[in-house]
Amino acid sequence: MSLYKAETRRLVKRRFTRFFVLLTVLVLGLVAAGVAYSNEKVTPASLQAAQARADSSFAEDTKSAERDRADCATNPSRYGGDCDNLWTPSKDDYQAANYLTSQFDFRDSFPAMLITLAALLALVAFVIGASFVGAEWNSGGMMNLLLWRPQRVRVLSTKLAALLVSLTGLTVVVGAAWTGLFWLIANLRGTTERMTSGVWQSIGLMGLRGLALVLVAGAIGFAVASIGRHTAAALGAAIGVIVVFQFGLAIVLELARARFYEAYLLPAWFVAWMFKSYEVYDTYGPCEYSATDGCTPASFTITWQLSGSVVAGLTIIIVGAAMWTMRKRDIT
């Protein structure tokens, strides 16, 4: 317990951790401010103003259409020779809703905000996790610690536990604040209508999947930096994965006209995890005939369970490798 306490203190006291958490809060604040600024609550007055703008546009466009029709009668070639088919504005095309500033609908829009939060926190968790152990290896702090607690796997797993528990705390607190902030924005600049218990449950489950994503990112960053014994090892690996396995692989697979090529790329698995499923289409394969839909490309559904199992397996392998190298390799 004393080691766990010391490692939690070490993590929280690090300037790098504090700086990144502060930066995250700042970025999240900017996102929330942007959303608040670009939305507006619908009131009878704003509805009336929008209706006035719609009516004005309709009147202007009707006049313009009449002018064009008259012009067409004298010079039909300018209008393709067919004056009967010139477009005539219809009142139905000028709805007040189209002239309203969008309002923040909590039920429809908050899931996207939750995914933004999860993605940002996952990135921060990866960097903090990598730095937490990488800087220790690099500065010699790990060796110092092992002189005090010569139980390598225990030391590394306690460090990882301290990281994951701290990340859980951070995610829960920031997640709660994020939800509260957008609830406030929805009240002031939008609507909180149609929020049933089922919707709250769905948001809660999405939040839990987001938390899992943050923890996995933190654990992978930590493990890769520990294997490489340097923070840069994890950051380099992350850049390598993005460049090689995302951009590079995506281009190669497209050129090779690979079937279900999206299934080889990380974003599909990320979206499947957060949105519960993701449909991958076989755009380069033979189509599937259907009497109702005709010839449609074959598809493959990545479920959140499948995505979760694959990512969990990968995480166990990487963390296991970090523990194995910790146990086996000399510390020089």
Partner 1 sequence: MTAVLEISGLRKTYRSRKGVRKALDGFDMVVEAGQVHGFLGPNGSGKTTTLRTLLGLIKPNDGRMAILGREVPRLLPEVAGQVGAIVESPQFFGNFTAETTLSLLADAGGVNPHRVPAVLELVGLRDRSKERVKTYSLGMKQRLAVASALLKEPKLLILDEPANGLDPGGIREMRTLMRTLSESGMTVLLSSHILGEIQLICDSVTIIAAGRRVTSGSVSSVLATHASATVKVRLEPGVDLAGAAAVLRAAGAAVTLEKDHFTVGNASNPAQITKLLAEKQIYVAELTPVSADLEDVFLELTGTAPVDGANRQVDQVAATTTQGGWGQ
Minimum gap (Å) between residue 262 Cβ and partner 1: 42
With respect to partner 1, which residue has the nearer C-beta, 13 or 196? 13
Q: Scanning residues 292 to 331, which ones bind partner 1 (CB under 8 A)?
A: 330-331
Per CB under 8 A, does 41 bind partner 1?
Answer: no
What string marks each residue from 143 to 172 as x (binds partner 1 by CB under 8 A) or -?
xxxxxxxxx---------------------
Using rule CB under 8 A, residue 141 touches partner 1: yes
Residues in contact with partner 1, counted by CB under 8 A, come to a total of 27
- Return the SS3 of 280: strand
- For 332, half-sphere exposure in the C-beta direction (CA atoms, 13 angstrom radius) is 3
Collapse the DSSP code of 298 into the 3-class scheme (helix H, G, I; strand E, B; otherwise coil) and give the result.
Answer: coil
143 Cβ contact list (under 8 Å, min separation 6): 331
Q: Report the residue number, 43 or 151, with the smaller CB distance to partner 1.
A: 151
CB of 176 to partner 1, least distance (A): 29
Continuous segment of H or E residues that includes residue 302? strand 299-303
Relative to beta strand 287-290, strand 294-297 is antiparallel
Sign of the CA dihedral running 279, 282, 283, 289: negative
Considering the rule CB under 8 A, would residue 332 count as an interface residue with partner 1?
A: yes
Q: What is the dihedral of CA 57, 63, 64, 69, to 10 degrees?
A: 140
Please give the backbone phi and psi of residue 42, each rounded to the nearest 5 degrees, phi first.
Answer: -85, 120
Mask 185-224, x = binds partner 1 (CB under 8 A)?
----------------------------------------
Residue 140 CB, shortest distance to partner 1, in Å, is 2
Q: What is the DSSP string of 178-244?
A: HHHHHHHHHHHHEE-TT--HHHHHHHHHHHHHHHHHHHHHHHHHHHHHHHHTSHHHHHHHHHHIIII
- Judged by CB under 8 A, the stretch of 7-15, 77-85, 99-107, 166-174 that binds partner 1 is 7-15
CB of 226 to partner 1, least distance (A): 16
* List of residues contacting partner 1 (CB under 8 A): 2-3, 5-7, 9-10, 13-15, 135-136, 139-141, 143-151, 330-332
